[in-house]
Amino acid sequence: MGNTSGGAIRRRLVLAMALFTASGLLALVTPTDAQAASAHCPGRKIRTFTFSTGKVLVFKNRGYVCAVTLPKRTGKRQWMSVSVQARGNWPVVNEGKFTRYAGPVNVHVGHRRILIRGAVGGDSVTRGWFRC
């Protein structure tokens, strides 16, 4: 009985390790939205603004803010936009029909407040004026 339970524990442990390794490899092969966005935006993610058709990810790095709009459903060409505006300046916008994301938009903001806008299809989000 001692050998049987020890063997069962070893088999479960080996199975768990195999599943853990496979899931880790899968995570490397299929990047998450944040990983895909961070490939285009340097720095650390500071905010995520979600809305019914997508989300806007906002990153900050050395006085610069970078934003990307990601749709809930990728692959289909659809209208998307992303905009970052530092207080006192004009907004910097990237818009058009895209399949994966709109942006990145990279703006020097220093210590000024910012306004973020993002849209996918018929829905959008606007957040601001906030300091990051």
| pLDDT digits 0-9 by tens, 17-68 | 655 554 444 444 445 555 555 578 999 999 999 999 999 999 999 999 999 9
H helices of the chain, where? 2-29, 33-38
Between 62 and 11, the more confident residue is 62
Cα 56 from Cα 39, distance rounded (Å): 15
The residues, any chain, with a CB within 8 Å of residue 126's CB and separated by 6 or more, are 115, 116, 117
For residue 15, name the pLDDT band (cuts at 50, 70, 90): low
Query: What's the pLDDT at 132?
Result: 79
Between 13 and 72, the more confident residue is 72
Torsion of CA 40, 42, 44, 50, to 10 degrees: -30
Taking 90 as the threshold, does the pLDDT of residue 80 lie above it?
yes
Determine if the pTM surpasses 0.75: no
Average pLDDT over residues 92-116: 95
Classify each residue of 96-115 as buried b or exposed e, where b means 16 or more C-beta atoms within 10 Å of its C-beta.
Answer: eebeebbbbbbbebeebebe
- Within 10 A of 77 (CB to CB), how many other CB atoms are there? 10
Query: What's the pLDDT at 38?
Result: 59
Spatial contact of 68 and 104, defined as CB atoms under 8 Å apart: yes
